[in-house]
Amino acid sequence: MRGFDTVDSPWQECMAPFIAVWHETQKDLPASGIRFLSSGFIERSARYCGIAQDMAEKLVRVARTIEEDPGLRSVAWFLHHGLWINRIHGIRMSEWPVPTETLKEDAGLFYVIVLLAGVPRLQGIYRRLGMPSGVVRDTVAELDRRMGESGSFFRTYGSPGIDAKTLGWLLMIWDAELYQIGRFQFGLSSHSGVIRAYRSTSTGSLVALSEDDRIFLPNGLNDGSGGISGLENSWTATLEGTENETMGYPISPSGFAVNKKIRLPKCEWVEVFSKGSPTLDFHIPAGPPMDFEVCGRSLQDAISFFRQFFPEKPFVAFESWSWILDPVFPDILPPDSNLVRFQREVYLYPCLRGSGDSMPAEVRRGEGGRATSMEKRFSEYLSSGGKFNSGGFFLMIEDFDWGSQPYHQQELPW
């Protein structure tokens, strides 16, 4: 198989299921001078993504090393075809190795170069959509952020770059499925179905019920949250319906399941959110503090943006899962903190994630490496035996009125 014997064994293991595709792509491998490894291409693509000149120059040097190494050259060509020419389905990028033996401290730049190879394709998509230059600039800048000190590769290896898992995540941007609108990132998605929401036709109140057969800890969080599982008083939610009513266990807007079965008459309570409901998926990139008003503008602008550029794809709610949605935060942080104020604007629900007895990795130190007030409070919480979880949220578009706390001001039927 042409070039396969020049590839290190970790690469061979990842590409074994794609041997036939490998063979086809290698037929077109140029004898020399791969275009996306040329200095001009690297510099233009790096500039498009807002990468600084000194880093662009380093990328040029690394690209030259890849061009001269038969194994890396073949892998880069394979990924170029598999990601940007004819998408190869089934590639699990999270399992692909980082070429530390060959590229040493520059190993994380290999996947950056693979991603830059897809810039012309991305530019073409943006042109067809008529995407505003400001949105393009802010969106593709995520690559530079991920390469830096806030990225997982830098935290692991101490040098700039991305790993294959991060490349897989960035494909959402390179496929034009995720956009930076103000402080946050958004993409069209659908509700996975862990809860259902019902609205009262008489009062307008909204109630979330757990889906059937979910197991909760006595405190109302998912079994397994914070690394805790199998407690004696854990309980299982049920969800069932008859011709006249829906019966289930509610989720409080604060993000805890309530061990009390309620009945919602169908003549008054209408299902408005369930598995498959179209959503605006919500992501929180590294960046400045989540100023409350800035957050509100970001969500408002996202509604306008997606209605303008994707009018054929309606959505009914924002939704996300994140460490910032941990429902214990109001017990740790002051009520005027950005995170607590954000949580009060949305409907939280429990989900199975969290860092348990360690600080969330996203919590950063302040200037000069000094502990922030958040870090101090989190440390005290851990010292007292607390556990960190993650959470989910949804916010119906028709309820969006930033600052009104719509779900915390309503009357609840339990």
Paired residues of 181 in beta bridges: 184
Higher pLDDT, 186 or 7: 186
DSSP result, 6-70: GS-HHHHHHHGGGHHHHHHHHHT--SS--GGGSHHHHHHHHHHTT--HHHHHHHHHHHHHHHH-H
What does the pLDDT read at residue 18? 85
Q: What is the mean pLDDT of residues 360-384?
A: 76
| Model confidence at 376: pLDDT above 50 | yes
What does the pLDDT read at residue 55? 97
Q: DSSP class of residue 371?
A: P
Residue found under tokens 């008529």:
130
* CA 8 – CA 181 distance, rounded (Å): 41
| Model confidence at 1: pLDDT above 50 | no
Boundaries of every domain in the chain: 4-177, 180-414
User: What are phi and psi for residue 177, nearest 5 degrees?
Assistant: -110, -5
pLDDT digits (tens, 9 = 90+) for 389-409: 889 999 999 999 999 999 999
**Distance from CA of residue 363 to its chain's centroid?**
16
**Distance from CA of residue 128 to its chain's centroid?**
25
Q: Any residues with CB less than 8 A from the CB of 118 and at least 6 apart, and which?
A: 83, 84, 174
235-239, 251-255, 303-307, 381-385: least confident range: 381-385
* CA 211 – CA 180 distance, rounded (Å): 32
Strands 278-283 and 347-350: unpaired
Q: 379 pLDDT band (50/70/90 cuts)? A: confident
pTM summary value: 0.91
What does the pLDDT read at residue 367? 55
Residue found under tokens 């003549």:
267
Strands 215-216 and 391-396: unpaired
pLDDT digits (tens, 9 = 90+) for 103-138: 999 999 999 999 999 999 999 999 999 999 999 999
Higher pLDDT, 2 or 66: 66
89-98, 111-120, 190-199: least confident range: 89-98
Are 110 and 74 spatial neighbours (Cβ–Cβ below 8 Å)?
no
pLDDT, the chain, mean: 92
Q: In this structure, which topology does domain 180-414 adopt according to CATH?
A: Aminopeptidase (3.40.630)
* CA 62 – CA 68 distance, rounded (Å): 10
